[in-house]
Amino acid sequence: MLIGPQNSPVERALAANLQAVRAQIAAAAAAAHSSAVSVTLVAVSKGHGAEMVRAAAACGVSDFGESYLQEALPKIQALRDLALTWHFIGRIQANKTRPIAEQFDWVHGVDRLRTAERLSAQRPHYAAPLQVCLQVNIGAESGKAGVEPALAAELAAAVRALPRLQLRGLMCILPAGQSEQDNRRAFCALRLLLLQINARGGTLDTLSMGMSADFRAAILEGATLVRVGTAIFGPRQPARGAQAG
């Protein structure tokens, strides 16, 4: 959309934020001897209403990330008239896989076979295969989500065999507040893990890593998909019923 005085201040701020994020993606991609078109921007819209998603879509964003089903499902419904790609990036509860399998295009947080099997079984036959990234516990924080790096190849092989899923890559969420150096080391480790899996017959093409605070570092280490919320939409409301999924 053409951004001008006819737009609300919120829309103008959104357009300016998007322009800045895209410029930073392009600069980081250039520094990594890559191309900005090889980095998919997923705008993380959790905590913001459907009208903000609509405004971002009008600025050319096609991919949106959501973490909480309760919040995401009505939003997806309200925006059915737009051709958007929806990414589920939250924790996956075993008893909540069906709406994910039915309503989303991508799932980034798969970290156990049981979840993958349910998603595959529940993916509707009229839809394209569900695009999947395995979440890896690359920061090695005990208690955090994600498959252990040493077990990722085995999980990848099992997920690859499921008929209604297409395994696309690996995803990580780093602990907040780490040094840039620690972040880069972790992102690099995820990329090496992907290369290892591909060397053993995998065909992974997606490294889902980097959020508002660290997407430049992630792109320097080879991210092909970044999940950016705050830097685009500004601060969000604390998640209502965050634990309810």
Ligand X SMILES: *Cc1c(COP(=O)(O)O)cnc(C)c1O
Cβ proximity to ligand X: between 46 and 112 the closer is 46
Does the protein bind ligand X through residue 173 (CB under 6 A)? yes
Choice between 4 and 238, CB closer to ligand X: 238
Q: Are strands 225-228 and 165-171 parallel, antiparallel or unpaired?
A: unpaired
Tell me: does residue 56 bind ligand X (CB under 6 A).
no
Taking CB under 6 A as the criterion, which residues in 90-149 touch ligand X? none
Q: Which residue is nearest to ligand X (CB)?
A: 229
Q: Does 89 participate in binding ligand X (rule CB under 6 A)? A: yes
> Which of 223, 107, 224 minimizes the C-alpha distance to 167?
107
Binding mask 199-238 for ligand X (x = CB under 6 A): ------------xxx-------------xxxxx-------
Write the single-letter amino acid at 47.
Answer: G
Shortest Å, Cβ 200 to ligand X: 27
Of the candidate residues 15, 29, 44, 52, the single one contacting ligand X (CB under 6 A): 44
Asked if 25 is part of the footprint of ligand X (rule: CB under 6 A), the reply reads: no
Q: Does position 87 bind ligand X by CB under 6 A?
A: no
For residues 93 and 203, which CB has a smaller minimum distance to ligand X in the complex? Answer: 93
d(CA 106, CA 116) in angstroms, rounded, equals 12
Q: How many residues bind ligand X (CB under 6 A)?
A: 13
> Which residues of the shown chain bind ligand X in the complex (CB under 6 A)?
44, 46, 67, 89, 173, 211-213, 227-231
